[in-house]
Structure 1
Amino acid sequence: MSTAPQSFPQTDSSSGAGPTFAMLSCAHGAEDVVKESIAETGWRLAFSRPGFVTAKHDDPVPLPTGIFIRTTSRSLGSAKSSDGDELIDRLVEAISPLSLPFDHLHVWPRDRVPVGRFDFEPGGDEVSNAVAERILKRLGPERLRCSTANEIAQPSQSVLDVILVTPSHWFFGTHTATTLPTRWPGGVQPVAPEYEPISRAYYKAAEAIAWSGFDLRPGDLAVEVGSAPGGACGRLLEMGLDVIGIDPADMDPRIADHPRFVHYPARAGDLPRRVFRGAKWMLVDSAVKPDATLSTVRNIVESRESSIRGCLITMKLGDFERASQIPRWRREVERWRPERIEIRHLARNRCEVCFAVTMPT
């Protein structure tokens, strides 16, 4: 057994004194974008691996946030060992100076490959779940209020974070739950589909809808542009919405035959605007260039026929270096005069970002 030196001193920067140490999770491949964004605000980089970044700020500042940052925690250090009990010993030492107990324990691995490659999906796996159970048993109720690891936290609750950079190399940290993604273990939405999803677009839609805060209700009419084969439509139908799918490609029969679904086998820009009449929500996930996507959406939302309240638009990057184009795309969306624009690289996104656009009523 060998224990690695701590990446950071055991300083509780949450007290407001001294420097701030942060550990950040992101998608495998997005770490360079994350590093660039936090360096601009005075963070100095330390240890990193694909999908994982640590940094230090000389002042007691808030933890960094950004489009490509999935989770952020105040780092308490790290340990490396082939012995799980030794790693838990180091975790106990790291949290001993802090106010206990924590409300929740979140344990997850960094993304080992890009999302979608070899069918990889982010979130907990067999190893991290086993580690979580061992930590939960060891720490007990005097250090953890939760009876189960990796539960969804409620706003203002404290969370003890353990990130498995590898099964034998752990980083420890803590954060306070605020926004919905900060309440999810590892920033990944726990989803239990009613039926086997038709495609992974189901999970993307579920996360986008939850993160956006859009108030989708049973009986609302939603349009999905780029709907085939029907993963996202399946989520919308599961939620009780009426759905219009627009895509030249065929829909899965389970969606095509649903009584609350209508399919237009065409491109959205070729359809008369009356097709969108009465629709309150629009999801867009087409394999076209972002500028063409925005042009299509703008023509729809600015139409006199439109009653669109909220848009969830997937913008394909192709390469994370194209993240530099996001401010330009945002300016284009601002020309629509929306009430609100939020942008996030969702945990389920590949090399793409989601724009959540709220239109005025």
Structure 2
Amino acid sequence: MSITLGEFIVELTKNLPLAIVTLLTLGVILVNGWTDAPNAIATCISTRSMRPRTAILMAAVMNFIGILVMTSFNSTVAMTIYNMVDFGQGSNQAGDALVALCAALAAIVLWAVLAWKFGIPTSESHALIAGLSGSAIALHGSLSGVNGSEWMKVLYGLVASAVLGFSLGWIMTKLTERLCRNVDRGAAQPYFKGAQIAGAAAMAFMHGAQDGQKFMSVFLLGTFLARGNGGESAFAVPFWLMVLCAVVMGLGTSIGGMRIIKTVGMSMVKLEKYQGFSADIAAATCLMVSTLTGMPVSTTHTKTTAMMGVGASKRISAVNWGVAREMALAWILTFPGCGLVGFLMTHLFLRIF
């Protein structure tokens, strides 16, 4: 099932809850652009391969391209998020599902803004998953609102991104060092600068490809609920929606996120250009594998674990494990924290509306 732009506009003009869901979804995409996208270019900036403004512009463009290209031939991540929770059945009134979805998105925006304010690179993906799950549980009054088999893909992705990201970061660094062991370091710097830029572009592309699909699935979920088709289990992502999400995410990225760039690229581990290149290629590869297999993973989680693997390849003490622990705590708190916020806000919204 799909929907044309004309049909969507007509539905939007006669359904206030859908209009609110649309605005909140676009808000979440915008926030994701300025909080998660900076992780893609953090190493490129910290190694001085690119100036911050130029890097942010590049990330915005590559996010845009990533959404359009990847979603055109593989939308399995969007299907996973769409089928992970049940908003279409089990509610007492037809409008309850849209109200619950509004509450979930409001909870995600609140959580994301607080994380950005304190410079913590918390995962928008985990917040999205937690907020939707908390609201679905509140809507049903039980865990029946969550699809366990689809949720398992989230857990698989959590483990896979951590293990694969760290391992590939370590392997890529060791491989690069071995291949270039007889190359003059000074002469190699210009080449690794270019490679670092290419790696950052690949990361930004995969960020758009992975995260763009998550939010498009929520967008379509709200639209189908408004049309009374919440029980649909399959859909086609329309091109106009790809463009809309790509533009909004690119706008968010252009706003920038220097606090998070500083935390990820400068505080956790100090990298040289070849190490930054290794981290970006490792993270982009992990994101590509996860996207093609339909596992929704955190781009932040993947990038930071890859950087930790790069740092550990030199020596364990090269990684600032204090910063890593703070980020791990933020990730651990996101699921119960944002889930609880979504749960409580759903009950509040249902009472109000």
TM-score of the aligned structures, taking structure 2 as reference length: 0.27
Give the number of the structure whose residues are more often strand, by fraction: 1
Give the number of the structure whose residues are more often helix, by fraction: 2
